[in-house]
Amino acid sequence: MKYISTRGHAGQPANPQFCDILLGGLAPDGGLYLPETYPQVTRAELDAWRSLSYAELAFAILSKFITDIPAADLKAICDKTYTADTYRHARAGDDPADITPVRWLEQGRLGLLELSNGPTLAFKDMAMQLLGNLFEYVLDKRGETINILGATSGDTGSAAEYAMRGKHGVRVFMLSPHGKMSAFQRAQMYSLQDDNIHNIAVTGMFDDAQDIVKAVSNDHAFKAKYKIGAVNSINWARVAAQIVYYFKGYFAATGNNDQQVAFCVPSGNFGNICAGHIARQMGLPVAKLILATNENDVLDEFFRSGIYRPRKTAETYVTSSPSMDISKASNFERFVYDLVGRNPEIVASLWKQVDAGGAFDLTSTPHFGRLGDFAFASGRSTHADRLATIRKVYADYATMVDTHTADGLKVAFEQLPSLPADVPLLVLETALPVKFAETIREALDQEPERPADLAGIETLPQRVEVMAPDVEAVKAFIVAHV
């Protein structure tokens, strides 16, 4: 499989393979890696895949993207990753062997694709557990080490730290927005005392943290000297691993491969829905990809208007779905690459404007007309919508959902009437309610269920370094701790 950069000048290595870009993260030209072409899935493959376990399906799909790891080794990594023991937080009544069970709210019509049964109770575990095992495998083979620099708005951080703790050759430096995450999210990350885990809280928002990650990665000398890697969805491996559950959800929601399905995806950095877009490009029968934002509605604005207008930190709201408090969706670049006909010059020129703090407007370009080919729809949700949706879903379907999934459901309820009656709509459950207990209490006046292995984590001692969002300060911290 050949990989290219969305900005056209991938640099070194000249023909990167999967393992190179796994360790490399951001492409050297500041763009994002993508396969040169999306592998196509045949009808015969779809038929054969319908009955596979999650681990078997992951192996079948990832084999199309990972051609530089021997098949037996990749299979062993998938088998080791996708176990009922790791994805152990399934709800009562679910079959834990499903890994990503579908919970129907309205049988055959509206369901939740449960992606949050992993160790940290968010969908990030689906890809991050695989990344932990892939990093360990590749680093061992090459005799190398890596210093992962990441940014989180609440869930990527803990998923990465849980996946990497205890792994040889890996250190994690995770930037989080100081004081903006839920108490549970803070405790999940900051209570870890492992020597290879470093938490840095920056006095800004997620976008400031993500900008620092990109700035450090774009300092090629520093990146090479300190072996800086990425675990955010700028890393292609994250997106590749997320493609798998769109297929699994499709098979669970349909009876045969003539049917179509729609997905509604709570979105922030555009990594999750980007995987859905790629699954559709590969040939998965997806009728619609519905993007849901919270009050930070940059992406909803784009799909409604054709204008992409990232906002500054001061214009980004702190909301009760904090993991989606993102106004500069880094992964969106991968979708725009496809939208503009996979033309890297156009992407480079659009992101020159974005990186300079500007916006772009596609309305008067032919690309805007092509938006319909990609079957996107979108909507937004507010705190009041979130509370109302949590109450409605609890009352009507006896199901408690977290604040981000509630944003998805709010938009899903709006879009459902416009979908053909034989197209099931799956809303991606991106976290479990206990991570956002403050808002659950406000909505339902009760405590969300808490898995026994995470009891009392808020009372554990915490270890975190607070600093200004300053690239040089972060670099100095890394230098001092490697």
Residues 416-455 as x/- pattern, contact with ligand PLP by CB under 6 A: --------------xx------------------------
Q: Which does 152 bind (CB under 5 to 8 A by kind): ligand PLP, ligand LJ64HWYM, none?
A: ligand LJ64HWYM
By a kind-dependent CB cut-off of 5 to 8 A, residue 412 interacts, out of ligand PLP, ligand LJ64HWYM, none, with: none
CA pair distance 46, 160, nearest whole angstrom: 31
321 binds ligand LJ64HWYM (CB under 6 A): no
Q: Is 312 a catalytic residue?
A: no
Tell me: does residue 155 bind ligand PLP (CB under 6 A): yes
* Alpha-carbon gap, residue 73 to 59, rounded angstroms: 10
267 binds ligand LJ64HWYM (CB under 6 A): no
From candidates 169, 266, 268, 344, binder to ligand LJ64HWYM by CB under 6 A: 268
Task: Pick one of 117, 158, 272, 319: the residue that binds ligand PLP (CB under 6 A).
Answer: 272
Q: Does 323 bind ligand PLP (CB under 6 A)?
A: yes
Helix ranges restricted to H, 219-330:
220-225, 236-253, 271-282, 298-305
Q: Report which of 399, 430, 270, 386 is spatially closest to residue 337, judged by C-alpha positions.
A: 270
**The one among 223, 288, 404, 475 contacting ligand PLP by CB under 6 A:** 404
The residue annotated as part of the active site, out of 75, 124, 214, 248, is 124
- What's the CA dihedral at 311, 313, 316, 318 to 10 degrees? 170
Q: Which residues contact 365 (CB under 8 A, 6 or more apart)?
A: none
Angle of helix 437-444 relative to helix 383-397, nearest 10 degrees, comes to: 70
The DSSP secondary-structure symbol of 185 reads: H
> What span, in angstroms and rounded, lies between the C-alpha atoms of 267 and 325?
10
- Residue 13, preceding peptide bond in cis (omega within 30° of 0): yes
**C-beta of 272: minimal distance to ligand PLP in Å?**
3
CB of 179 to ligand LJ64HWYM, least distance (A): 15
* C-beta of residue 231 within 8 angstroms of C-beta of residue 134: no
CB 134, CB 22: distance < 8 Å: yes
Instruction: Return the residues of window 156-185 that contact ligand PLP according to CB under 6 A.
Output: none
Q: Which does 267 bind (CB under 5 to 8 A by kind): ligand LJ64HWYM, ligand PLP, none?
A: ligand PLP
Catalytic residues: 124
For ligand PLP, the binding residues (CB under 6 A) are 122, 154-155, 233, 266-272, 323-324, 404, 430-431
